[in-house]
Amino acid sequence: MKSCPQCAKSLKLIDIGGKDRLACLEPACDFVHWDNPKPVTATLVTTDAGLVLVKRKFEPFVDDWCLPGGFIEASEHPAESAAREVLEETGLHVEVQKLVGASAPGRGINVVILFYLAKAIKGDLIAGDDASDVGAFQRDQLPKNICFELHRQMIDRYFSENGSF
């Protein structure tokens, strides 16, 4: 971000509260680019056949596998968002059981991931529009190419704790 979204003047890096932040110095404008992270969900879905993963159809990491999830919509509860994303990407209706983790931003992508545990209650595994495939896996069947380190860590924990957390 180089210019002010409010008045289009150029932004300057200044110290606010001990941190360098891009801010607009126009007296009539008070814009500060706080650069707050966006929340996203990622959900560990249990089915009779195993843990559900989706194969990515779009960049980044096309053709790698990861947990279903995505951005939270305006006025949507995170748990509701988790269930919606799972349905859109996998065709499964789920019952969200609990929040099992939250990540700090700072791996080149400014998001906070909320990890949920859920179980499938109905529906058939069908890849949605932004997935090229979807599957349910036991630990020894997991694909080698699972992207996102934090997803891999949570998948590991899931199997280490027998999906109970």
Residues forming contacts to Zn ion in the complex (CB under 5 A) are 4, 6-7, 24, 26, 29, 31
Which one, 24 or 131, has the nearer CB to Zn ion? 24
Minimum CB distance to Zn ion, residue 77 (Å): 34
Minimum CB distance to Zn ion, residue 25 (Å): 8
| Residue 117: HSE in the Cβ half-sphere, 13 Å Cα cutoff | 15
Minimum CB distance to Zn ion, residue 26 (Å): 5
Q: Nearest 5°: CA angle at 62, between 60 and 63?
A: 150
Which one, 29 or 111, has the nearer CB to Zn ion? 29
Gap between the Cα atoms of 70 and 88, Å rounded: 10
Gap between the Cα atoms of 131 and 135, Å rounded: 11
**CB contact at 8 A, 130 and 51:** no
Which one, 29 or 127, has the nearer CB to Zn ion? 29
Which one, 11 or 86, has the nearer CB to Zn ion? 11
